[in-house]
Amino acid sequence: MKSLHNYFNRYISTLISDREFEFILSHFTYRKLKRRQHLLVQGEIFKDMSFIVKGAMRKYFIDEKGVDHVVDLYIENWWAGDRESFVTSVPSMYNIEAWEDCELLLISRENTLKLCRECPVFNEFILKLDERNSIAAQKRITSSISLTAENRFADFVERHPYFIQRFPQHIIASYLGISKDTLSRVRKKSLNK
């Protein structure tokens, strides 16, 4: 799995040796999902963090009124999961669905903790990931509390140009917390500028 290997090298300070990588990789399992198959269903405990080698996924939940809300979007080289359920073993409120056919590398909580203990490179890697994660979350929150629908979309396009080509508008609208109709209108307005 070249893709994960490169990914590691991108986030740690020293290059990773083949032996080290093999050791780390041995703690992952490989899994394929067909489009529309679910990695996680609301109510289950989320067991394995999933690195996306190929494909696209979305995390969503369904509210009391039956409306679904897209909470996260993922493509290659992203991690799909519900951290809360993963860490605390509470049933998840989220669903995670393959939006395209997917190839994944899964790692359990136990193996994550084991690798953090036994493998300094992996530990460093997790720290870096969390840093990036925290920075991205901060930006998303900032955008969601301070921008209008129009600017939120512009901000999204700028930050995630790839997503636009992989997910339909109504999914992106939901991710941004606006209705698909509003996004359609807002998009039209932006084009006329």
Partner DNA sequence: GTTTTTTGTCGACATTTATCATCGTTTTTT
Partner DNA sequence: AAAAAACGATGATAAATGTCGACAAAAAAC
User: Which residues in this chain contact a copy of itself in the complex, by CB under 8 A?
Assistant: 61, 63, 69, 71, 82-84, 87, 116, 123, 126-127, 130-131, 133-135, 137-142, 144-146, 174-177
Provide the residue type at 21 as one letter.
F
| CA-angle at 84, arms to 81 and 88, nearest 5° | 120
Comparison of 37 and 138: residue with beta carbon closer to a copy of itself: 138
- When asked if residue 187 is in the footprint of DNA (CB under 7 A), the reply is yes
Backbone angles phi, psi at 83, to 5 degrees: -60, -40
Q: In terms of DSSP bridges, do strands 29-33 and 79-80 run parallel, antiparallel, or are they unpaired?
A: unpaired
CB of 146 to a copy of itself, least distance (A): 4
Residue with tokens 């512009």: 154
Closest to DNA by CB, 3 or 169: 169
| Contact flag: residue 150 with DNA (CB under 7 A) | yes
Residues with Cβ within 8 Å of 166's Cβ and at least 6 positions away in sequence, in order, are 56, 73, 75, 99, 100
Contact status, residue 106 vs residue 48, Cβ threshold 8 Å: yes
> Judged by CB under 7 A, does residue 180 bind DNA?
yes
Mind giving me the DSSP string for 151-190?
Answer: HHHHHHHHH-HHHHHHS-HHHHHHHHTS-HHHHHHHHHHH
* Binding partner at 175 among a copy of itself, DNA, none, C-beta below 5 to 8 Å by kind: a copy of itself
CB of 75 to DNA, least distance (A): 15
| Dist CA 94 CA 62 (whole Å) | 8
Q: Going residue by residue from 28 to 57, which x/- string records binding to DNA, judged by CB under 7 A?
A: -------x----------------------
Q: Which is nearer to a copy of itself, 59 or 166 (CB)?
A: 59
- Residue 75 interacting with DNA (CB under 7 A): no
User: Using the rule CB under 7 A, is 178 a contact of DNA?
Assistant: yes
User: Which chain residues interact with DNA by CB under 7 A?
Assistant: 35, 148-150, 168-171, 177-182, 184-188
